[in-house]
Amino acid sequence: MRMLEMSDKPPADLIDETAHRGPACYGEIRYGSPGSGRMAVALHETGTGHDVYVDADRDRRIETQERVEAHAGIWRVDLRAEIIEDDRTRWAPRTLVFRRSNLSGSLTFAAAGFLEGAVTIGDRRHAARRIDADGNAGFSDPSDRIWIDLNDDGRWDSLSEQFPFTPILRIGDRRFAVRSDPWGERLSFEALTGEGAIKLNVERRETADRVLDITATLVGRDGSAAVVRGLNCDQNMPVGDYRVSSMTVCLKDLGGGTNWNFIFSDNGGRESRRWYPLRKDETLAIDPLASFVATVGVPQKSGPTRPGDILTLGPRLFTSDGLLINSCFRGKERALFGEGPAAKVTLAMPDGTPLASAHSGFA
């Protein structure tokens, strides 16, 4: 179970149609891709206990019919993970369970159940299960688990048949390249023919000194995914070409204030993506913070823009790997509930005369 950060104030853009039912606190989950919509959760006090509401359709409204029935202190809700690939969105069925912590009074949550199928190890076929251990709808994170019934006895041995998800896995006296997409829809074990190591390395010393935590998801040309975490920490990988598909980074504040957190992904990123070749016995250093490009996007429309028309401008910040910034917050996730980090955007004439201005934050 993971703790859900909560606040007694709802996000500014959330409408709670059940607020009249009593005091409430609110949390949010991005369930699926890093650029997916936020899913709001409300915990209401009642005269006899608590009610939980989940905005499963992500329409930014807490509605009466979104109340989740409790059974033995557990709220179980069927919903969909929002998966964004190449700017196309699809949905995958999932189930989450919520439980109220007696210590903090907040909610904890976890993914329920497992994915099940069969995998070939060498020349034998075995039943296999996959567990989303960190509750983010993915199955290729270091904390996620693979279970393989290696002796085919129909039972799951937690000591000899449970493995963490890693790009290279030792089973018995053999080592395999583990191939999986981020969402657990395919899994294969290939005999390892060569390996190298990939590490994250920030070359600008003044930036590297501020990094408290950094995590990057790498994707191979076959769609397989793996996670690299921390600066200068080698992650052994099968040889091949890789690109950075998402990144989270936490930086110290220059003035000694609250830490800064950023999330980047290829959801809405540039079409031209940078590939890094990893060769046998090589250590490949990737600097995901090497440089950034800021642009202002203007939606395509038919015909010219005329006086009086509404013009929507979208400021966009890209990394050198083509990732788009999806979110920024200070401290914990609950910082998103207030004004949060934002930019003032001004549309001006070439001579600097301002025409209009607005504030831009993060969805």
- pTM (two decimals): 0.81
All domains of the chain, ordered by start, with CATH? 2-111 (no CATH), 115-192 (no CATH), 196-291 (2.60.40)
- What confidence score (pLDDT) does residue 339 get? 47
- What distance in Å separates the CA atoms of residue 143 and residue 276, rounded to the nearest whole number? 25
Residue at token pair 């899994």: 187
Residue at token pair 């890209």: 318
- What confidence score (pLDDT) does residue 338 get? 46
Residue 7: count of CB within 10 angstroms of its CB: 17
- What confidence score (pLDDT) does residue 297 get? 74
* Residue 44, phi then psi, degrees to nearest 5: -105, 135
Complete edge-to-edge strand list for the sheet that includes strand 67-68: 24-30, 38-45, 50-54, 67-68
- What confidence score (pLDDT) does residue 300 get? 67
- What confidence score (pLDDT) does residue 130 get? 97
Q: Which two tokens stand for residue 234?
A: 């080698």
What's the average pLDDT block by block, 10 residues per block, for the chain (363 residues)?
A: 88 86 88 89 89 94 94 94 87 95 88 95 95 94 95 94 94 93 93 94 95 95 92 94 95 92 85 90 96 82 77 84 89 54 84 87 69
Which one, of 141, 122, 243, 256, lies nearest residue 192 by Cα? Answer: 122
